[in-house]
Amino acid sequence: MTPQRNYLVHPHYIIITLVLAGVTALFLGFTGAYIYNRVQQGIAPVQVPTLFYFNSILIVASSITMIYAKKMYEYDDTRMFKVALWVTMILTVLFLYMQIEAWYQLKAANIGLTTSTMASYMYLISGLHFAHLVAGIPFLGYFIYEAHKRMKDPITVLVYFADVDKKRSLNILNIYWHFLDGLWIYLVAFFLINYMI
């Protein structure tokens, strides 16, 4: 049996920190480039689609249900843990669908990918966020699958909730989800402020 190692900070936390630092740098770079191009070229910013605001509600709601799932895990509440995970998945998929609708809303307003540099940036930046959220879905799906597979009787439930690795993975998934939530709010606020000034 492999001995348990005691880390001051577990490597998985270091990895997620580095990943999120890279993603932060990526989005700061693109939003910085957006401002630079707007100032240099004097191009009018694009109006924020109304569905972006609705999507903000959806993504904040998914973040809340993720917090609730973590709390139910800590309370050993099997049923509500599963429910919270499923609701998070439904809200996330709905967000992705509504994001596609938001792009159609832009297109219907004659704002296409090549309409202007600012329009291109809006599609690119929101598309990158979309991609990062899609990348998180398999991990959320894995948790749902594992919860249904492992939690079949009182013994397996006890083992599942006592699993230190499982708890750490859930913490990391929460960090990633809340990061994407905060990132989306930042992006919507960024586009809105740029449009207003």
Lowest-pLDDT range, 14-23, 48-57, 149-158, 179-188?
A: 149-158
Report the share of the chain in percent with pLDDT over 90: 66
Q: Is 99's pLDDT higher than 80?
A: yes
Q: Is 2's pLDDT higher than 60?
A: no
Lowest-pLDDT range, 50-64, 91-105, 147-161?
A: 147-161
Spatial contact of 60 and 181, defined as CB atoms under 8 Å apart: yes
Q: What is the pLDDT of residue 72?
A: 93
Q: What is the pLDDT of residue 1?
A: 43
* 141 or 149, higher pLDDT: 141
Mean local confidence (pLDDT), 18-47 = 92
Q: What is the pLDDT of residue 8?
A: 77
| Domain layout of the chain by residue ranges | 11-196
Reported as a single tens digit per residue, the pLDDT across 61-77 is: 999 999 999 999 999 88
- Of the pLDDT bands very low, low, confident and very high (cuts 50, 70, 90), residue 157 is confident
Alpha-carbon distance of 123 to 111, in angstroms, equals 10
Q: What is the pLDDT of residue 3?
A: 53
* 54 or 76, higher pLDDT: 54
DSSP letters for the chain: -PPPP--SS-HHHHHHHHHHHHHHHHHHHHHHHHHHHHHHHTPPPPPPPHHHHHHHHHHHHHHHHHHHHHHHHHTT-HHHHHHHHHHHHHHHHHHHHHHHHHHHHHHHTT--TTT-HHHHHHHHHHHHHHHHHHHHHHHHHHHHHHHHHH-SSHHHHHHHHH-HHHHHHHHHHHHHHHHHHHHHHHHHHHHHHHHH-
- Of the pLDDT bands very low, low, confident and very high (cuts 50, 70, 90), residue 5 is low
Return the CATH fold of 11-196: Four Helix Bundle (Hemerythrin (Met), subunit A) (1.20.120)
Q: Is 6's pLDDT higher than 70?
A: no
Report the share of the chain in percent with pLDDT over 70: 96
